[in-house]
Structure 1
Amino acid sequence: MSIKINKESIRYAPCYCEENIWHLAQRQEFAGYDPHAVFISNFQRIVHFEAQQICDGTHFICWDYHVILIAEDSGEWFVFDPDSTLDFGCGLQEYLTASFPFGDRIAQAPLFRVIKAAEYTRSFSSDRRHMRKADGSFHASPPVWPVIQGAECSSFNLWDFVDMVNVGQGEVLDLVGLRERFTGMMSKP
């Protein structure tokens, strides 16, 4: 793979995956590699994930949503997920198999909203209201950088990207559809 990014060099804040990927998508290293932001959720907003750093290697976590970046290099798609235990820039097929070992056979199976990175960075805005408790404090410490306000949207629109029911930015695919579109595989090997 030609895309080389030191994971320690990226902007990263735990529990703010949408902002981490927004910044990552703009890095010069992805120029010419057709990067896409991928929101992972489902109708219930409870997705079973494995291979995440927050797990201890023997357990799983259920996220309400998660965001990763994928990019194509020489006909193969690679995943950049700062929260994964897998290599930063692992193959998409490896990522899907490790992260979703039950595939679509469980109620918490993932759906994927795939958006061109340039479109995502222009249109995404968040004032971090989703991370605030009733008393105004944060569930997790906010990033040190300013809130994100896309050039094409000035209001909070995170839920438009997480929503897997309504038509919105990009396209929504199930696990089989994502595999078929980006790896050429019809089902898990």
Structure 2
Amino acid sequence: MEVSNSEYSSEFDHTPFYCEENVYLLCKKLCAKGVADADGSDLFVVFISNEKKQAYPTVASKGKQESRWYYSLGLSCCLHSGESLIYFARKRDGDSSCLVWDLDSSLPFPSPLASYVSETIRPSFPVFSEFQRFFRMVHAPIFLRFFASDRRHMKDPAGNWIAEPPSYEPIVAEDKTVHNLNEYIEIRAEEITTNVGADLITAVFNNKLGVVMNENQLEEFFSQVSQ
């Protein structure tokens, strides 16, 4: 079952401009509801940015989100059972396609990866290199253990909130780290992988900060891990 993004508020926590925390809670909820594996092993978190933090806006995103210089979303991929995750229910028709859970998109929620990439990631116009987007892919179980944010990035020099923060307490990592968001959103040229192979897949499943890839490798990665 798919629902429009106008209907997700009753099921998922969402605070505008705090997409990294929204995705953290999204993964937690998908696991708790039985949509994803209990440990989130079939979920991935993707941060979209580039070396200059000037990635062009997500085409299908809602207006306010477009002013951000990085973006995060969740992807689900059934790795073992051959099932496809469809909004709080499992589809048992043998379809092993991957889905994108983007709380800030105007596309159906969730959306098949192929259509999401086509309508959101690949523009119909040339993009200057400084606006090219790269994708930091992090395995959800690792992200849920190590991600932390005390929201310091959402305050101006005077200490005032740039955008109203969520009402719940800031996220603290398992190792008691209180803020490491900058480690996830910073993209360096030397991090960008050149091909999708066994080493890259192993790195995604083991590295604290995952792996940085381009849009073509994004689809190729999921085509390999979902086989």
User: Where in structure 1 do 4 or more consecutive aligned residues deviate above 2 Å?
Assistant: 60-63, 100-107
Given the alignment, which residue of 15, 26, 37 partners 1:31? 37
Matched, 1:169 2:188: no
Per-residue deviation, 1:101: 3.2
* Root mean square deviation, CA, Å: 2.6
Equivalent runs, 1:10-49 vs 2, <5 Å: 10-27=12-29, 28=32, 29-31=35-37, 34-48=42-56, 49=58
Question: Which deviates more, 14-23 or 148-157?
Answer: 148-157
Q: Distance in 1 between matches of 2:14 and 2:179?
A: 20
Aligned to 2:161: 138
TM normalised by structure 2 equals 0.71
Given the alignment, which residue of 112, 128, 131 partners 1:106? 128
Aligned to 2:68: 63
Q: Distance in 2 between matches of 1:130 and 1:41?
A: 16
- Distance verdict in 2 for CA 1:61–1:182, change over 3 Å: same
Deviations 1:54-81 (A, max 9, x none): 17xxxx9353110100001242110011
Deviations 1:80-116 (A, max 9, x none): 1110000111011111111123278433121001111
Q: Is the 1:46–1:63 contact (alpha carbons within 8 Å) kept by the matching residues of 2?
A: no
Identify, as 1 or 2, the structure richer in helix.
Answer: 2
Given the alignment, which residue of 47, 51, 61 partners 2:60? 51
Equivalenced residue count is 179
Per-residue deviation, 1:51: 0.5
Q: Distance in 2 between matches of 1:81 and 1:20?
A: 10
Q: Is the 2:17–2:68 contact (alpha carbons within 8 Å) kept by the matching residues of 1?
A: no
Deviations 1:128-181 (A, max 9, x none): 000001111111100011100011341310011112227661111111111222
Deviations 1:7-58 (A, max 9, x none): 1210110000000001111122222670011111111111212001117xxx
Task: Indicate the SS of the match to 2:213.
Answer: strand
Q: Distance in 1 between matches of 2:67 and 2:115?
A: 19
Q: Is the 1:79–1:95 contact (alpha carbons within 8 Å) kept by the matching residues of 2?
A: yes
Q: Any gaps of 5 or more consecutive residues in structure 1?
A: 185-189
Q: Is the 1:46–1:62 contact (alpha carbons within 8 Å) kept by the matching residues of 2?
A: no
Q: Is the 1:37–1:114 contact (alpha carbons within 8 Å) kept by the matching residues of 2?
A: yes
Matched, 1:88 2:128: no
Identify, as 1 or 2, the structure richer in strand.
Answer: 1
Aligned to 1:187: none
Q: Is the 1:47–1:63 contact (alpha carbons within 8 Å) kept by the matching residues of 2?
A: no
Q: Is the 1:38–1:112 contact (alpha carbons within 8 Å) kept by the matching residues of 2?
A: yes
Larger radius of gyration: 2
Q: Partner letter of residue 100 of structure 1?
A: I
Per-residue deviation, 1:183: 4.2
Q: Distance in 2 between matches of 1:77 and 1:106?
A: 29
Q: Distance in 2 between matches of 1:93 and 1:153?
A: 37
TM normalised by structure 1 equals 0.85
